[in-house]
Structure 1
Amino acid sequence: MDPRTNFYGLCLSGFLAKASYALARTPVLALFAASFGVGPEAIGFAVAISTITGVFFKMPAGVISDIIGRRRTMLIGLAFFAVIPFLYLVVHTYNTLLLVRFLHGFATAIYGPVIMAVVVDVAGKKRGEMLSLFSSVTIVGNLIGAPLGGFLLGRLADGGEQQLVHFHIIYGVVAALGMVALLIGVWASSTLAPNGTSVLSHL
């Protein structure tokens, strides 16, 4: 596969992964937590708990990638984007939502440290240009995902009260985007070497 094809595939996968994560988080997550009747502090904790995952697991994820290879680690991260959102479909309590959010945080904790190193491997001498382009594409994914969540929730509620089923539908969309991101990631990285230079050398 042409390295440019690898790169554009990784960009599309990253765009969808980031869009799905943003769709899951803002503003849908806060409203989902509020639907269980909890106060502002509990709502804020639900939004922030996935960050706790990142704080404690981003560095281990980078180390793991040096052991099992960056491609495998990247795909594990994408698998979290694809699989964990299905757990939102069985959330019926605030505490369950916290657990799922914590698990969902592994997606960015694992994917984030390794994907930039994968892009560097693909980019070669154009690493500065391609890193900037990849970052821009994923930022656009974040920008689109958040308002899309608000739009979908507004359309589903149709001016009425938000129901549990509305949130489940949105997280079904999140799961679908994550699945597509994973499939594209598998395809785009299929010709990449499983191992490479240390992720830490690119930090």
Structure 2
Amino acid sequence: MVYFLYIIIVIAFLDTFSQLPIIAPFAQSLGASSLLIGVIVGIYSLTNMGGNILAGQWIDKFGRKKILVIGLLFVSVCLLGYTFVTTPLQLLLIRFIHGIGGGLLVPAAFALLGDKSRSTNRGKTMAFSGACVGISAIIGPAFGALMTNFFGIDWVFYSISGLFALTALIITFVLTENYTMKLEENKFDFSQIVKLLRLPALINAYIGAFSLMLTLGILAYMLPLKIAAAGQGVAFSGMLLSTFGIVAIIFFLLPTNQIFDQVKREKTVIAGMIFVTIALTILSLFELIVVLFIAMFFYGIGFACIFPSVTALVIDHSNKNERGRAFGLFYAFFSLGVVVGSFIVGALNLAPNQGLLLGAIIMISLAMLIKSRIKIIDTYQ
């Protein structure tokens, strides 16, 4: 059953990653301004935050399976809506609605996985889940770019919509619910959210999640535009974005995954943030194709260090009856990172190289913040 959950995670992230190389150019082709492109890219993640927080409460109230199926079906319908878009404002609206539904999926899947993980190998379990995200990061951008080139952008949405609907149907008959809510947890209590927002270890997890997706939001916006300005097609953007996923998967599946249960989680997060900073700096300074691939190699290592560590922190510091809320908040910070990243570079009307360099500066600053907080964690424990 755990392996089935891994497959679900691959599919859940496929929606987001398949759109990375196509949304900014799609918005641009509809006549959107630089600022509006940033809003269009980021609005999904903004409403995704709301979906994450709602999902966290519902997952702990109604169960993981129900919310997962509802989210898959909701997103399936939303994806079909993209095929009717003809103006930037219509694209903005469908991204707004899509984000709400998308916010239900990932927290439910990871709450299920967290329930089944053992305390002795949570880092390794999350590394395997990271490999699933990496697989999506490989397949998604390449699929979205190639499908757009050969069949048109509508077929990206048709195909992913069908996949989500089929997955919801399979889950309905195959997956068993492994969580039962206690009666005293039937009512929403805001203090439960406050508690999860105040735990020092979870704060570091939230910062790590925010920083990781902030850079991905900047990449989703700036890298395709940089490649297009250099005269390359959308397929090349997809190849670059897929590269970091390949590297991350290798890192997750090799014996290197043992470090996630042997090294303090915050330390691997900081190491990953340094690698991401190096990658963004290289991307901002160079145009040579070989160098761009090297940069994405470093980004892949950074992703591989950050993702399992921050997700394992959430499991470590939440019990089963609050894990849905913990992951809901966690992925809300994921979404917030994409919102902030894409909005800042769009609002400042930055050139691609400037936007990528800004991402590097923000990332290293947040890495220093987590490092300064490690002493707080040690004191708290």
TM-score (norm 1): 0.80
Selected match of 2:160 from 174, 180, 191: 174
Could you say which residue in structure 1 is the equivalent of 2:176? 190
User: Secondary structure, in 3 states, of the residue corresponding to 1:190?
Assistant: coil
Could you say which residue in structure 2 is the equivalent of 1:83? 77
Q: Match for 2:17: what amino acid?
A: A
Unaligned runs of 5+ residues in structure 1 are: 1-5, 157-165
* Distance across 2 between alignment mates of 1:139 and 1:81: 21
* Distance across 2 between alignment mates of 1:118 and 1:189: 10
The residue correspondences of 1:141-156 to structure 2 (distance < 5 A) are: 141-156=136-151
Bigger radius of gyration: 2
Could you say which residue in structure 2 is the equivalent of 1:3? none
The residue correspondences of 1:40-79 to structure 2 (distance < 5 A) are: 40-79=34-73
Selected match of 2:12 from 11, 17, 21: 17
* Distance across 2 between alignment mates of 1:45 and 1:136: 30
> Does 2:124 correspond to 1:129?
yes
* Distance across 2 between alignment mates of 1:201 and 1:20: 23
* Distance across 2 between alignment mates of 1:12 and 1:187: 16
Unaligned runs of 5+ residues in structure 2 are: 182-319, 331-381
Higher relative contact order (CA 8 A, sep 6+): 1
The residue correspondences of 1:103-122 to structure 2 (distance < 5 A) are: 103-122=97-116
Alpha-carbon deviation of 1:15?
0.7
Alpha-carbon deviation of 1:119?
0.5
CA distance change for structure 1 residues 59 and 116 in 2, over 3 Å: closer, same or farther? same
Aligned residues of 2:72 and 2:164 also touching (Cα < 8 A): yes
Alpha-carbon deviation of 1:191?
5.2
Aligned residues of 1:13 and 1:182 also touching (Cα < 8 A): no
Aligned residues of 1:70 and 1:114 also touching (Cα < 8 A): yes
CA distance change for structure 1 residues 142 and 182 in 2, over 3 Å: closer, same or farther? farther
User: Secondary structure, in 3 states, of the residue corresponding to 1:198?
Assistant: helix
CA distance change for structure 1 residues 197 and 33 in 2, over 3 Å: closer, same or farther? same
Aligned residues of 1:10 and 1:185 also touching (Cα < 8 A): no
Could you say which residue in structure 1 is the equivalent of 2:334? none
* Distance across 2 between alignment mates of 1:106 and 1:91: 18
CA distance change for structure 1 residues 117 and 32 in 2, over 3 Å: closer, same or farther? same
Alpha-carbon deviation of 1:175?
0.9
TM-score (norm 2): 0.45
Alpha-carbon deviation of 1:107?
3.6
* Distance across 1 between alignment mates of 2:27 and 2:326: 40
Q: CA RMSD in A?
A: 2.3
After TM superposition, which residue ranges in structure 1, 4 or more long, deviate above 6 angstroms? none
Alpha-carbon deviation of 1:111?
1.8
Could you say which residue in structure 2 is the equivalent of 1:162? none
Taking only the aligned residue pairs, the percentage that are identical comes to 24
Count of matched residue pairs: 188
